[in-house]
């Protein structure tokens, strides 16, 4: 793989994982299995390190979701790190081997407990009273949902027994399967949409704005960890489990201490059998070093603690029949075949559809209408067809033939070189229009508050908009008659659309939905070309001269601006007043002109974003990897391998204080 190909693949993976994180953490509508997510994340991490493509906005550099704009943001004093996942026993043994090597002894044991399929929650008690309840969010900061969590009857408003002045509790909010089914039945009777699974419902419910509505949802809670101020280093994880009970916090009844990795594996096998009889969903087991005083020595990566790991259970499987194969059209015109199944109960939910991914996948597995197939929920979320049962039987239907035209708009489908997906390239294809408008209005794009999926659907259905440029022609009186709309909400939507005109050029570029142009590429293009006119008329050679741009991205940009429909849409956005120019930032000095600085570790007072802005403000640029071209390394606490490499290359290394002195700030 060339570096240009690696760059393109990295951008694809970053966009996919970012979308998956947002779907999982913000929208509670996951579309990707845990296993597929982990494999994609590992591929991204390998490519970034192999080709020096690590950036601050990469999913490999963060824990998980974003913070909702609808709740106050709180900073977690101790980060809520996610856990590294494994799906096989050998990787667990490798984990145990790493623990032994780091500690240099075997004088430790493990606490093994069920991994709940719910929403991670942080609680804070001061003098025994509940003062804060928050989501995990990014791991560094989350949403303050205290009012909503106070409606969950499992969560005590005050602690029992003798407790420290400050107690931090980590736990999981969840729904029991029967309660979830009853709730869905009621919603169906009321003509409301039903939830996909208990995890989605829990996460979505906790983000509702009305605590009274949250109280109507059957949300439960398990606590699994305690943190104290100051921390008692002599306490074990098992001791914490006992304290949870003493404090009146609900804990799961199944944790156990294992003295060896073999005992851990035996416990996992028992839990794998037990889970089918539990009233709630569990997707695996968490293994933690029991002695908390060893955790500092074991440390953590930027994403995962080295003293804990999650083992995920194998996905459940079932047999059913494919009644038909339908086709879905995605935002970028990708045509995805979907198996319409005879309904079957799988992992606690009724499965009616399963993605077949693409034409090649159908032919590789020789999937045909009428076949009996084995389906599973990968990561217990996304149904997929594993294989055909008895593919050699007589009287099978004909081999599935992929259509040559779009099922939605009848435009001729195309397949780009080196890709397996068929695409519709008509910008006005109805399904694409809806999804493109949603992307245009998304938080990372133009951040138009109130323009969610349901509102977009109404606006398109009623013929008020046919593309994202139409948004800027909307009037309040056109919106008021829509379902669940009123004068105030209509005015708020129009105000949100108007406010989006203030978003910078790089965000507008990202919002346009150009294939392969994610946030980072959009920022680089805006910085390199400064104006829309310069970008529209850029040649392939000029585009390739930008560091992050490879042949596929360059071709996609040229194709986008070469399409007459896109040209008209962009012209309308320009006339509406959107920002299509990069504001020139006046440099504070030129002391770093032509210099490349690499940031590593945690700085005492500056965030990475603040440090990067200061470097650029004084004429320099930042890079994600250390090389012979690096001029300086700005290193903080836990600097890691970048610092080591810089020392080996004899590159100048700054502390934050030395950096600030150098630039005169």
Residue in the structure block whose two tokens are 């970048």: 642
- What the block records as the tokens of 74 is 């709180």
Q: By the 8 A CB rule, do 589 and 660 touch?
A: no
How far is residue 517's CA from residue 531's CA, in Å, rounded to a whole number? Answer: 16
Q: How far is 433 from 331, CA to CA, in rounded Å?
A: 7
Q: Is 115 marked active-site? A: yes
Cite the beta strand spans of 127-278 per DSSP E. Answer: 129-135, 141-143, 166-174, 220-228, 256-258
**Which has the closest alpha carbon to 358: 417, 420, 277, 269?**
420
- Phi first, then psi, for residue 177 (nearest 5°) are -65, -40
User: Is the bond into 230 cis (omega within 30 degrees of 0)?
Assistant: yes
Three-state DSSP at 400 gives coil
Residue 93 φ then ψ, to 5°: -65, -35
From CA 584, how far away is CA 441, in angstroms rounded? 26
Residue 169 to residues 172, 244, 570, 602, 653, Cα–Cα distance (Å): 10, 9, 50, 25, 39
First to last CA, the chain: 43
How many residues appear in the chain? 665
How is residue 78 written in tokens? Answer: 């101790």
In the DSSP assignment, the letter for residue 300 is B
* Rounded Cα distance, 369 and 340, in Å: 9
Give the span between the Cα atoms of 48 and 7, in whole angstroms. 9
d(CA 267, CA 261): 10
Whose CA is closest to 509, among 439, 568, 564? 439
Within the chain, what is the greatest distance between any pair of CA atoms? 81
Element (H, E) at 653: strand 652-654
Measured in degrees and rounded to the nearest 5, phi and psi for residue 142 equal -145, -170
- For residues 346 and 383, is the Cβ–Cβ distance under 8 A? yes
Cβ-Cβ contacts under 8 Å for 570 (sequence gap 6 or more): 512, 532, 536, 561
Nearest residue to 573 (alpha-carbon basis) of 489, 503, 520, 522: 503
DSSP 292: G
| Two structure tokens written together for 5 | 């190909």
- Report d(CA 302, CA 601) in Å as an integer: 10
CB 111 within 8 A of CB 255: yes
Quote the tokens at residue 6. 């690696």
Query: Is the separation of the CB atoms in 221 and 227 below 8 Å?
Result: no
Q: What is the DSSP letter of 133?
A: E
Among 7, 14, 35, 115, which one carries the catalytic annotation?
115
Buried b (16+ CB within 10 A) or exposed e, 78-89: ebbbbbbbbbee
Catalytic amino acids? 115
């Amino acid at each position: 793989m060339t570096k240009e190909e690696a760059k393109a693949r990295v951008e694809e993976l970053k966009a996919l994982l970012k979308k998956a994180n947002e779907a999982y953490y913000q929208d509670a509508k996951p579309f990707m299995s845990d296993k597929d997510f982990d494999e994609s994340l590992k591929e991204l991490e390998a490519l970034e390190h192999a080709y020096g493509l690590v950036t601050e906005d990469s999913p490999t550099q963060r824990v998980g979701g974003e913070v909702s704009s609808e709740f106050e943001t709180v900073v977690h004093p101790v980060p809520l790190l996610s856990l590294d996942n494994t799906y096989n026993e050998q990787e667990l043994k490798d984990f145990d081997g790493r623990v032994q090597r780091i500690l240099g002894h075997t004088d430790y044991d493990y606490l093994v407990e069920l991994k709940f399929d719910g929403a991670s929650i942080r609680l804070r008690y001061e003098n025994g009273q509940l003062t804060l309840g928050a989501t995990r969010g990014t791991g560094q900061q989350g949403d303050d949902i205290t009012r909503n969590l106070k409606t969950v009857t499992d969560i005590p408003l005050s602690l029992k027994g003798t407790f420290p002045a400050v107690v931090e509790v980590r736990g999981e909010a969840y729904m029991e399967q029967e309660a979830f089914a009853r709730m869905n039945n009621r919603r169906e009777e009321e003509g409301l949409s039903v939830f996909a699974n208990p995890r989605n419902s829990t996460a979505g419910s906790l983000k509702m704005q009305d605590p009274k509505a949250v109280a109507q949802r059957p949300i439960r809670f398990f606590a699994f960890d305690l943190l104290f101020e100051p921390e008692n280093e002599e306490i074990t994880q098992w001791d914490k489990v006992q304290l949870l009970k003493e404090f009146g916090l609900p804990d799961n009844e199944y944790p156990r201490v294992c003295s060896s990795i073999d005992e851990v594996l035996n416990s996992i096998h028992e839990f794998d059998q037990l889970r089918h009889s539990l009233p709630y969903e569990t997707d695996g087991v968490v293994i933690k070093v029991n002695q908390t005083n060893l955790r500092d020595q074991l440390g953590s990566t930027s994403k995962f603690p080295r003293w804990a790991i999650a083992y995920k259970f194998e996905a459940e499987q079932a047999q059913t029949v494919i009644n038909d194969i339908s086709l879905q059209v995605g935002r970028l015109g990708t045509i995805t075949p979907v198996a319409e199944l005879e309904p079957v109960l799988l992992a606690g939910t009724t499965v009616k559809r399963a993605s077949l991914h693409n034409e090649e996948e159908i032919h590789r597995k020789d999937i045909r209408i009428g076949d009996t197939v084995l389906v599973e929920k990968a990561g217990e979320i996304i149904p997929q067809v594993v294989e055909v049962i008895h593919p050699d039987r007589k009287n099978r239907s004909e081999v599935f033939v992929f259509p040559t035209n779009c099922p939605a708009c009848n435009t001729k489908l195309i397949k780009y070189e080196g890709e397996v997906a068929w695409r519709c390239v008509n910008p006005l294809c109805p399904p694409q229009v809806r999804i493109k408008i949603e992307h245009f209005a998304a938080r990372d794009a133009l951040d138009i508050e109130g323009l969610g999926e349901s509102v977009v659907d109404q606006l398109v259905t009623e013929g008020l908009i046919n593309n994202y440029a139409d948004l800027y022609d909307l009037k309040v009186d056109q919106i008021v008659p829509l379902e669940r709309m009123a004068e105030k909400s209509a005015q708020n939507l129009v105000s949100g659309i108007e406010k989006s005109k203030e978003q910078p050029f790089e965000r507008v570029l990202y919002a346009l939905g150009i294939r392969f142009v994610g946030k980072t590429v959009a920022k680089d293009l805006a910085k390199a070309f400064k104006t829309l006119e310069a970008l529209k008329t850029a040649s392939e050679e000029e585009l390739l001269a930008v560091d992050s741009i490879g042949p596929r991205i360059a071709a996609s940009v040229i194709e986008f601006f070469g399409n007459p429909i896109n040209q008209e849409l962009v012209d309308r956005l320009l006339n509406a007043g959107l920002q299509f120019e990069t504001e020139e930032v006046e440099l504070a000095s030129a002391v770093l002109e032509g210099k490349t600085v690499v940031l590593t570790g945690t700085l005492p007072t500056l965030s990475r974003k603040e440090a990067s802005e200061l470097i650029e403000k004084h004429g320099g640029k930042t890079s994600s990897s250390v090389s012979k071209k690096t001029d300086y390394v700005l290193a903080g606490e836990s600097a890691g391998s970048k610092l080591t490499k810089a020392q080996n290359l004899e590159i100048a290394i700054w502390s934050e204080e030395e950096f600030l002195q150098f630039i005169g700030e």
